[in-house]
Every structure is written in C-alpha cells, then in structure tokens.
Chain A
Amino acid sequence: MIDRTPKDGRFHSVSVALAGSGGAGVMTAGNMLLEAAAHAGYYGLMTRTSGPQIRGGEAAAMVRVSTFASDSQDDRFDALVAIDWQNVNRFASEIPLGAGSLLIGDPAQGEPPETFTRMGARYVPVELKALAKSIPDGWPNMVALGLLGGLMRLPKASLLHAVTKATKKGGDALAASLAAVKLGIEQATRIEGPFTLAAAQASGKRWLVSGNEAAGYGALRGGVRFVAAYPITPATELLEWMSPALAKVGGTLVQAEDELASINMILGASYGGVPSLTATSGPGLSLMIEALGLGVTAEIPIVVVDVMRTGPSTGIATKTEQADLNIAMYGMHGDAPHIVVAPNSVADCLAATQWAVSLAESVQAPAIVLSDQYFGQARAIVERPADASYPGERLRAPENAAGYKRYALTESGVSPMAIPGTPGVTYTADGLEHNERGTPSSQPADHLAQLEKRQRKLAHLDCDQHWASIEGEGDIAVLTWGSCTAPVREAFARARADGIKARLVSLRLLSPTQPERLKKALAGVKRVLVVEQSFSGQFYRYLKAEYELPGEVHSLRRPGPLPFRPNEIHETLVKWSRS
C-alpha cells in the first residue's frame, strides 16, 4: 500500500463518503460540504449512489475536495461516515477504504459491517445521534457535516456559510443546524490523523454545476428553444433545469406522454425552424430510434442527449455505464448517417451539447450526445468554462426561390431548408425515400443519390479541433471517451509528475468517424490502451472497425457502475514506460 500521507502533513485531495438510510439527509449534507469547499476556494466533486428505493432507501454522498480540479473519484476514500449502517454494506465496492482511512459510525447503530472493517480502515465511534439530540431539533447529518469538514480542516466560516445558504427556513431550524455543525467540528478535533487540506489555490472564476445542468445550459447557448421529453432517471434533472430556464429565454418545454412522442414533437418543432432537443436515457433512446431515422431521411436537425445508465432493459437505473455506444452509432435501420458527440468532463457537458446543436443545425441531421449518470448527476466545482461559439447554423431557403428543391444534390450535401411561413418554397418533409424535390420515389437512382447526399453532409462536417481532446505526448497512448476520461486524466497528471511521457486521446466526436485525424494524433505510438466502461468492449470494437490503430492495442474495460480509479491506469502507464 502506498503511503498517502503527504510529507508536510497537508493533503491536496481528500475524499469522504457520507452514508445512511433514506431521510437521513446525506445528500443535503454532501451538497453543503461541497458548497463549503467552494466557499473556501477549493475544487471538488460530489457523486452519489443510492439503493433501488425511490424514497427511504440507503444512499451515499461521495465528496472529494482538492486543491486542483478533477472530475475523477480518487483511488479510495479517506473517510466514511455512516449515520446508520442499514444496507450501507451494499456500497462497499463503491466506497473503497484502505489503511489510514477512517470508518466513523454511531455506536448506538451497532458495529460497522465487516465489508468495511476488513478493508483496513480504522473504526472511530462517534455518537452522532446523541450529539444531535443534545441540541433541540438537531440532526445527525449536520453533526456529520461538521465532522467531515472538520476532518479536512475546512474553515468553520465556510461550513456555516454553506449551511446558512442552503437553509431556506432560517430561524430556529438554521440555528439548530449551525449548532450541530459546530458540535461536529469540535468532534473532529478529537480524532487523530485528520486530513488537513493544503491551502486552497483556486483563482479566477469557478462554477458549481452538475453535468445535467451544464448540458441544459449548453443546449440554450446553442440556440435550443423547444424541448419535449419524458421523465427518466438519470436525465430528469436536465429537463427540470431546462423547464424554467427555457421559459425565461422565450422557449418551451413540453412533457410528452412517452419518448415516441418526445422525439416526434421535437422533429415537428425543428421542422418549424426552432432548434429542438430531448433528453433521455437508454430505454428512451431505444424507443426514439425509428424517429431518429426520420430525422436523417427528412433532414431535420434535432439533438438527443442520452444520459447513459446501465443496461440493457431497465438495468440499474441510477448507475452509470458507457454501453449505449452501439445503439447510438448503429441503432437505426437503413444507412442512417448522423452525429454522435460525447462530453469528456462535467464542464464539457456544456460545450459538447452546444456544439452538437450547432453540428445538427449545420448539416440538418440528428445528433446524439452521449453523457452518462456519472457526469449527469455529479456536481463539480470547475473553472468557469470559456465562452465558446460554433459557427454552424441552419441553411434556410429564401422566399420564392425559383425552382426550389428541398433535397437538391449540392456539393456539400446540405440543401436549403424551407421553414413553414416562407412563401413560394413549400414542400413535404418525408420519411419516404424521395427525389430532389421531395417527391416520394422508389427509383434506385434516387435512393443512391440521396444516400450519397446524406453521407456527404457528414463527410464535409467541419469538426475543427473539437473532435478529440489530445493531451501529452510520447509513444504510449490511452484512447478513451466520455466519463472514463476523468480517471485517465488524473492518471496522466500523476504520470507527468513521475516524468512519464504518454498521450491521451479522448474522442468527443464519435460519428462521423475521423480516421485520418486519429491516425495523425497517434503517429509514432507503439502501444495503445483503450479504456471504457462497457462489458463487451463496445468502444474497443468500434475503434477496431472504424480506425487503423498503431502498434499493440490493449482493452481495459469493465461494465458500470464501478468507475476506473486513477491508479489502475497509472500503474499501466508506469509499467509500459519501463518496458
């Protein structure tokens, strides 16, 4: 086991988990801890896990506070505080502890489960409930918040600020919470081996944002003004964020009766000239596939954000996986060229979604954004994302264009789209194969010409430098995408500190594929590690089918929901750099 205690006794990253059964308020306390870290000038990340119950089930808030920005969880947790132990053992694989970690529980709730104690963590009993009860209306989660903040030596003022900011009621309830937090902070001073954070280094503007919120904001930045959607975990928060936001900027959100309706509603709205989007998860995407093909054939730009969860079928609705790549790439019947984009950080959910809107609009084709539960429901303290603008917009037909043909065979494949209300260029958008004018046609020549046209649009797609994030250099490379990029990035940061040279390529544009660009990006590479969160290696197979990869190619994959830990990737980089 690596000695994680920093030489000067100051930690640059502390990871804690707060667990308990439903109603214990672990998410509330976790959010406050993150808010306090933000207030104190740190970076941070909160992810969440929960049992299958809608309400009342066990849940854990996992909070990382650091002096540097990272979307990754650390290799393990420094402390687990359990308000009670009911079913918390179910999270053992998601909350790895080690020697030096603290396992803090209320002795009144019984002994900690063996699944945790055998990980080598030191058990520290703290009477959370009794302490909370010593204050009228005091709650154990607030004691736990003080305890966790205190263990990191977060400034007391930041913790109290976070509680005050989040407690809308004020008055006695607030006073009780503040008193409970103070009690927790005091308890922390009595525990040996705190995880004292190094001084905060954040400068400049920071945001506290979830991936789902960032994606919603990116959609609005891209010009989306119509959303139709059906609630589904873990995409619902994206919609709940967009609903009032759209109303403020002059747009609309319609709650549809099902995903078949939502996708067809956005096709109708976009046909009407309004950039449109829906958000869903795997089961919903499955239902939308037929109409996505309509978007391809009728050439109607739309954006579908798929916040992936484990599949197939209902899978594990609350947990993350990267296994919708196949359906997003190849799910449609017929030859159906379209766009697939994947954000590779929480903040990138903004840029990737904004970009997807621009790409869809500029080539008049559907775009799928593959986010996932990890990013979507993570709340992160990030650098304020740079203001990006993408040039792509819809090519519109002018009024009374002579001899107007909606599906004219142009060089770029993109033909001017007539928007209802424009005189002299009316046409029928059709899912039937058609000729240039849009008249249904069963002629082989028309089918071929329109297939080529639709393919040509994507071949001409201007993806500039946005197609991938390329970081570092060297003759070993890691190829990854989506949320797996987070632990890979952190592994690279550690490798750089060790003087190891390696190249990270995280694909943001999955379709249309960019074989020439990737070839260039990997020139001189001798070994490639492909990292993904899919049991069957969907990304690996996609790469093998669509690209030419240099040298030895290894696949590192696992199904969701367990994330890769930076050390897993770091170890390979170390090993490869030595051989």
Chain B
Amino acid sequence: MNAPATVVALTAQSFKSDYKPVWCPGCGDYTVLASITRALAALSLRPENVAVVSGIGCSSRIPAYTTCYGFHGVHGRALAAGTGLKVARPDLTVLVAGGDGDGYSIGGNHFLHACRRNVDLTYIVMDNHVYGMTKGQPSPTTEPDWKSKLSPGGTGLREFHPLVIALASGANFIARSFSGDPSGTASLIAEAVQHPGFSFIEVLSPCVTFRPEQRAWKEAVRPAPVAPTDDPARAARRLMTDDGFNIGVLYKGKRNPYPTDKRASLEVAALEKEFAL
C-alpha cells in the first residue's frame, strides 16, 4: 500500500536541474537563476506547475537549468509563447525570461503588446547591454559610444529605456534589480509573480566577458530612495529622471489582468445550427 501523500515544501535546490549552464564564469545570470529557484521555493510552488519560457540568447538558456517545464523557442518571441501558454493554461505560473536583445530588439513589438495585454505572467529581462551569444554587438540598451567590431564608432543611438516603455505600454508591475543581490532579486521575483497582470523585472546582469566594465555596477546600484507608487504619472517622472541604478519595485499598478476565464455553454455540434437550412 502506498504511504499517504504528504506535501513537502521544496527547497531552491529542487528547482535547479543537473544541467551545467553554458554561461561564462562570473556571468550575472548564475545568480538570477539562483534567485528564480529561491523565489519559486519561497512561493511554495511545485516545478510541474511552473513554466519558464524563453527565446534566444545567453540568458534565454535558463529554462533547462530549472526543473520546471521549459520552453526554449525562437529569437524574440518568448513573450508571445508565454502569452499563449498562460491564456490557454491560466492554472500555471508562467515566467518569461531572456536578455535585452531578445526582448527589446527582435522582440520589441511583443514587449509593447505584452505590457498592453497585461496577461498575468512575470517577465524577467537579464540586461547586460550587449549581445553575448554572438560575441559582443551592441543591443538596444548599449550606450551610444560603446565600440565593437560591428559598430567601430559606436552606434550613436540613444539607449532604449525599457522601464519607461513598460510603464507607457501598460505593464502592471515594474521593478529593477541587480544580479549581484540574489536575495533582493528573489524577493522581487516572488512579489512580481504574486502581483496580478503583467509584471516586468529588469535585472542588471553583467556580462563579464564582453562588458567587463559592468563589474562596477556593484558599486553603482542602490535601493530606490522612495516607496513604490501606483500612480503612473509619478512613476513616469521617477523613471524618466532615474540614472538606471535604482533598485526595487518602482511601480505597482491596479489594472485588471487579461481575462482567461473559459466556460463552455454549448456543445460543438450545436454550432451547426447556424449553417443548417
């Protein structure tokens, strides 16, 4: 006879798979992975009820490094896949994760519309201001004067401001964290998962290989000096004037999430009545 089932709270470790990440030593993404697993454990979730969805890039390899259900799709479309999954299966906890190139460049349009749509999922962007997987090209968040083989004189383009865009597009929860602060990042992720609607966390996650100067982020980051606001106008002023290193929840909105209720009121066969003569 089987022993009666008991619910055992899982540790962060039980959300970590045995795969060895492809990341470089010192990559910020290791601690983001640790933060995610810690948050999932803290939320008392089970791996089979969580899906981690991603596109392409260094950080997008993260799903397989968890023991959750993973979806490693095509470049830039993680939010679309995550949206379809969550709308079809609202019972699941859906995390979408990836990098700045995947989310803000090739996937930029989906980012806007995911914010607008406000499906109840959490989007974690590990932003290192560079394409790492293709070995060092500028991304939308790269500084205009950063030089690379592909743009020897720098791009000359102003940086994309993901948090402002998220706010303007309707994201319901906006936070920034730093990969060097795993416990702070874990609690932000847990809070984001619990907040209804589309939650967006921009994690500053240094690329020590192609942007070694980002090691200095450790000194630059600081807790946001003010409490989170639910007023989009105030949040906009703060985000527009912030230097990119304020850490914490910056906006918590009150929009209703995208409806996912489904109730069948009719048998499929009954639909043929409208064709019948």
Contact = CB atoms under 8 A, between A and B. Distances in A.
Interface of A: 38-39, 205-209, 213-214, 217, 220-221, 225-226, 228, 245, 248-252, 254, 256-258, 260-274, 276, 290-291, 293-294, 298, 381, 384, 418, 420-432, 438-440
Contacts of B76: 260
Contacts of A248: 264-266, 271
Contact of B71 (A220, A254, A271, A293): A271
Interface band, chain B:
35 or more
B53 interface: yes
B80 interface: yes
Contacts of B109: 257-258, 260-261
Given A207-B275, A221-B268, A264 B84 contact: yes
A379 to B, nearest CB: 10
A273 B88 CA distance: 8
B72 A430 contact: yes
A291 B63 contact: no
A421 B88 contact: no
14 contacts: A207-B277, A228-B84, A252-B260, A257-B110, A258-B109, A264-B81, A294-B74, A420-B51, A421-B92, A423-B46, A429-B72, A430-B72, A431-B74, A440-B64
B80 A260 contact: yes
Given A421-B91, A427-B69, 19 more contacts: A226-B87, A257-B112, A257-B113, A260-B76, A260-B77, A261-B77, A261-B109, A264-B74, A264-B80, A268-B82, A268-B83, A268-B84, A268-B85, A268-B86, A269-B87, A291-B73, A293-B74, A428-B70, A428-B71
A429 B77 CA distance: 14
B72 A421 contact: no
Contacts of A298: 71, 73
B268 A249 contact: yes
A256 B82 CA distance: 13
User: 4 closest pairs, A vs B, by CB?
Assistant: A428-B70, A250-B264, A268-B84, A265-B84
B60 to A, nearest CB: 10
Given A249-B266, A264-B80, A269 B85 contact: yes
Given A207-B272, A421-B91, A422-B48, A268 B70 contact: no
A267 B74 CA distance: 11
Contacts of A225: 88, 262
A429 B71 contact: yes
Contacts of B87: 226, 252, 254, 265, 269
Interface in B46-100: 46-49, 51, 53, 63-64, 67-74, 76-77, 80-89, 91-92
Contact of A269 (B48, B64, B88, B272): B88
Contacts of A213: 275
B25 to A, nearest CB: 20
Nearest to B70: A428
B263 interface: yes
B89 A294 contact: no
A272 B92 contact: yes
B74 A220 contact: no
B213 interface: no
B258 to A, nearest CB: 8
B84 A220 contact: no
B267 interface: yes
A221 B87 CA distance: 21
B276 interface: yes
A420 B69 contact: yes
B45 to A, nearest CB: 12
B160 to A, nearest CB: 18
Q: Which of B69, B80, B264, B276 has the most CB of A within 10 A?
A: B80
B68 A426 contact: yes
Given A426-B48, A431-B73, A271 B81 contact: yes
B67 A426 contact: yes
Nearest to A291: B74
Contact of A428 (B72, B74, B263): B72
